[in-house]
């Protein structure tokens, strides 16, 4: 299987008046073509920052400090400054025109807040026309609307509703429209940031199912960002667990749920409520994620970890192969 995306040692910082927050600290990830990678972790751990960094759209005052992001292109991409050749390209070496040509067409991002991302003055169809004509001014309105109808149909929205305005849609439908807009240019990689967070569980399940169908239909590779491990259990092939900007564990979904290695992964799984076991007490992880402005020597999880040893408080563990077949960054496993 080909690797579509390879991220190596990515560091992203937000420089604010209060100090500098290191939102990603040497994050490395590999994503195979046609797979879905789930990114999970507590609020503020760097999930959206990682997704946006892949688009090279880290918002001000954030900045990619170092690292490489390789994307494997299956065809050359024409750009007015300089065409991008087929094959593996390091996104960090591309200029802004080249990145703009890739966004939407090769990599699409569905933002975390769909409710405010649609323009109330435009019909749903107009949104599709705008996105498609921004990349190809030659595309006629009719052709863009046909694409919109096909995609919306796949997401359970009647095609004739392209003439409606966002306020005529429910929250779940607006979320579907956002997903549809992400698919408008038939990207190879779709990054979906908390696509179902504000929805009820029934609508959530429907949308996840429809996304899985569209993924197969359009041959997509996906990154699904969520703090909800239950969502990933149903949808992801692999899962990366992030804590305070560092990848703590990366494994197949089966391995992560069946044989979690990292103490943080175990604690996260333990904290998932289980309706089939009403007698089970609700648990949580004691303490809180660190303020990323504060420097914590060693493993970032050490202040909350019940297994913390001396070395954990001084030296950062590296991501090494784990016995579940994935990778883990924890001193408990360093000697194996």
Ligand X SMILES: Nc1ncnc2c1ncn2[C@@H]1O[C@H](COP(=O)(O)OP(=O)(O)OP(=O)(O)O)[C@@H](O)[C@H]1O
Residue numbers of the site for ligand X (CB under 6 A)? 14, 16, 21, 23, 41, 43-49, 59, 61, 227, 292
Residue number with CB closer to ligand X (45 or 118) = 45
Query: Could you tell which of ligand SF4, Mg ion, ligand X, none binds residue 131, using a CB distance below 5 to 8 A set by kind?
Result: none
226 binds Mg ion (CB under 5 A): no
Spatial neighbors of 336 by CB under 8 A, at least 6 apart, are: 323
Nearest distance from C-beta of residue 88 to Mg ion, angstroms: 28
End-to-end, the C-alpha distance of the chain in Å comes to: 28
Is residue 335 within 8 A of residue 321, CB to CB? The reply is no
- The C-alpha R_g of the chain, in whole angstroms, comes to 21
196 binds Mg ion (CB under 5 A): no
Residue number with CB closer to Mg ion (95 or 113) = 113
Query: Could you tell which of ligand SF4, Mg ion, ligand X, none binds residue 292, using a CB distance below 5 to 8 A set by kind?
Result: ligand X
Nearest distance from C-beta of residue 294 to ligand SF4, angstroms: 16
Q: Site mask, ligand SF4, residues 266-305, x = CB under 6 A?
A: ---------------------------------x-xx--x
Taken in order 150, 155, 159, 165, the sign of the CA dihedral is negative
Residue number with CB closer to ligand SF4 (302 or 322) = 302
Of 217, 307, 321, 323, the one binding ligand SF4 (CB under 6 A) is 307
319 binds ligand SF4 (CB under 6 A): no
Residue number with CB closer to ligand X (113 or 140) = 113
4 binds ligand SF4 (CB under 6 A): no
Nearest distance from C-beta of residue 152 to ligand SF4, angstroms: 45
Nearest distance from C-beta of residue 225 to ligand X, angstroms: 7
Which of 25, 14, 41 lies closest to 224, judged by CA? 41
Of 5, 23, 41, 48, the one binding Mg ion (CB under 5 A) is 48
Alpha carbon of 237 to those of 146, 222, 256, 262: distances in Å? 32, 10, 10, 18
Distance CA 64, CA 76 (A): 25
Residue number with CB closer to ligand SF4 (110 or 319) = 319
Is residue 181 within 8 A of residue 127, CB to CB? The reply is yes
316 binds ligand SF4 (CB under 6 A): no
Distance CA 294, CA 316 (A): 15
Nearest distance from C-beta of residue 258 to ligand SF4, angstroms: 19
Nearest distance from C-beta of residue 111 to ligand X, angstroms: 11
49 binds Mg ion (CB under 5 A): no
Backbone angles phi, psi at 312, to 5 degrees: -65, -25
Nearest distance from C-beta of residue 173 to ligand X, angstroms: 23
Contact positions vs ligand SF4 (CB under 6 A): 263, 299, 301-302, 305, 307-309, 312, 317, 330-332
């Amino acid at each position: 299987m080909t690797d579509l995306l390879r991220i190596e040692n990515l560091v992203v910082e937000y420089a604010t008046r209060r100090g500098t927050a290191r939102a990603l600290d040497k994050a490395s990830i590999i994503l195979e073509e046609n797979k879905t990678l789930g990114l999970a972790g507590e609020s503020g751990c760097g999930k959206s920052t990682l997704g946006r960094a892949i688009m090279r759209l880290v918002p001000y005052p954030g900045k990619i400090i170092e690292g490489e992001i390789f994307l494997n292109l299956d065809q050359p991409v024409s750009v007015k400054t300089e065409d991008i050749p087929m094959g593996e390209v390091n996104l960090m070496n591309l200029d802004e025109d080249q990145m703009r040509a890739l966004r939407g067409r090769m990599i699409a991002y569905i933002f975390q807040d769909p409710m405010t991302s649609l323009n109330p003055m435009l019909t749903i169809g107009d949104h599709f026309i705008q996105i498609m004509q921004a990349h190809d001014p030659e595309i006629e309105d009719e052709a863009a609307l046909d694409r919109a109808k096909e995609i919306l149909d796949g997401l359970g929205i009647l095609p004739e509703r392209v003439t409606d305005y966002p306020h005529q849609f429910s929250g779940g439908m607006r979320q579907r429209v956002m997903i549809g807009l992400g698919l408008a240019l038939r990207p190879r990689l779709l990054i979906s940031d908390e696509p179902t967070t504000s929805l009820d569980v029934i609508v959530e399940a429907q949308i996840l199912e429809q996304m899985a169908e569209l993924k197969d239909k359009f041959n997509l590779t996906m990154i699904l960002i969520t703090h909800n491990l239950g969502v990933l259990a149903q949808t992801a092939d692999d899962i990366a667990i992030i804590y305070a900007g560092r990848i703590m564990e990366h494994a197949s979904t089966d391995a992560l749920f069946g044989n979690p290695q990292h103490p943080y992964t175990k604690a996260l799984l333990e904290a998932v409520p289980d309706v089939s076991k009403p007698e089970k007490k609700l648990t949580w992880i004691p303490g809180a994620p660190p303020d990323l402005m504060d420097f914590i020597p060693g493993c970032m999880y050490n202040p909350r970890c019940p297994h913390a040893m001396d070395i954990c408080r001084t030296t950062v563990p590296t991501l090494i192969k784990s016995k579940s077949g994935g990778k883990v960054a924890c001193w408990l496993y360093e000697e194996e």
